[in-house]
Structure formats: structure tokens, C-alpha cells
Amino acid sequence: MPEPTADRLAPGLNRKKAITLLKVLEDGRVADSDLMGALGLRSANSASYYRKDLEEQGIIKGYTAVIDWRKLGYSTEFLVLMEGRDMESNFNMEKELVASLEDYAKESGDVFILPSGNGRVVVSSIITCFGERPMTVLLGHATSEQDAIVFSRYYIAEKFTDAKTTFLLVKGKGVENYRIQKDYLAFMKGSFTEKGLLELPAEFRKRFPSLAASKGKK
């Protein structure tokens, strides 16, 4: 773990707590003995103190499993962008969404899984966004591309008739769970065949001085 990462995480956070938090992000089940080494401490109890302190402050709210949905048969990850045609239709869409989720939770529980086509869809996130173009973003996993399309076209489009929907298949993730995905970067680099494509343009580096500075240090 590069040292500057912990220093930049949060100005008011003790450096050892920042390192602890980064290690927990990497592996929520990290042992105190492993934390001890990362923190440069001599006892696991001392390392445990920093984890417990972060929990008591409410910075660490809990630990969740990282699931590979592909191994459960959900081979396709997708996005649906839902945008009201005007402010009123956007507001109505949000009301319908809240009512739908409440009804589902009462009848079926808190994990949103629906039949779609010949398979199923599990919804991982529904995010309401405000800004230049207010919209709702739905992220989910489907048992096939066809099942994802059916879910978008028939469940979403028919249920929210006042909304404009955009369906997108997820190609890959350069950053996931706050961490740069190096396997994905390596895969993408291997797909670039033209010489020079991996060099960032000078204008881009000007807009992000830290990139230019880090290159100069090498």
C-alpha cells in the first residue's frame, strides 16, 4: 500500500486509523495480527484498538461479504438510467419507486430479486441523483444479457411510463469498492493496439497536476 494513500484519506484522521481503514476496505476480515504488521505495532491488541475506535466513531458501520455474482449464475451486470420528462414526471417516478420498494419489502424481504425473461435479476443499487439532469440510476445483475434487457424494457419501461430509460451493459470497472482494479487495467492495456494510446495527453496532465508530479518523481 503506497504511504501517500493513507496521508490523503482524510485530514482529520489519525494516520494509523487511516491505514486501518484502508486495510479493512481491502479485506473486511483482516486479522489483527496482519493489521499489526501494517501499522508497525508489536501487538495484535494494539492494532485491534484502532479498528474498535473506528467502529465506535461510526466510521466503520459494519462488514459485508463481497460476492461474485457470476458464480451464482448472474453473468451480466447492467445499468438503467431513469429520467423524468419534466420535474413533475420525475417527482411522480420517485414516488412510484418508493411505493414499489415498500410493497416489495413487505411481501418478499429486503433483497430485491425479480424474475425476468427466462432467468432473474437482482438489484444491487438504486440511486436518486440531483443536478443538471435529475435521474434515478439502477445497478443490477442478471442471469443473461437478454434477461437484463427484458427487465429494462418490460419491468422498468412499463412500470414507469412517464420516464425516459437508458439501458447500459457494464463493460468493466477501473475502480470498485474504492480500489483501483489492476486486473482490469491490465486487460484493457492488452486491448490497445495502437502505439501511444497508453500515454496520457499533455492537456490532461495539466488539468491533473498530481499526475504530472508523480511522473516527474520517477
**Hey, what CATH class is 69-169 in?**
alpha beta
CB atoms within 10 A of CB 133: 10
* Closest-CA residue to 92 (of 163, 164, 167): 163
Q: Taking the model in full, what pTM does it have?
A: 0.78
Q: Which helix (H) or strand (E) holds 92?
A: helix 87-108
How confident is the model at residue 211, as a pLDDT?
Answer: 46
d(CA 44, CA 54): 16
pLDDT exceeds cutoff 90 at 107: yes
What single-letter amino acid sits at 195? K
Which whole number is the average pLDDT over 147-151? 95
- pLDDT given for residue 133 in this prediction: 86
pLDDT classification of 202: cutoffs 50, 70, 90 = low
Contact (CB, 8 A) for 56 and 64: no
Instruction: Note whether 181 and 100 are within 8 A (CB).
Output: no
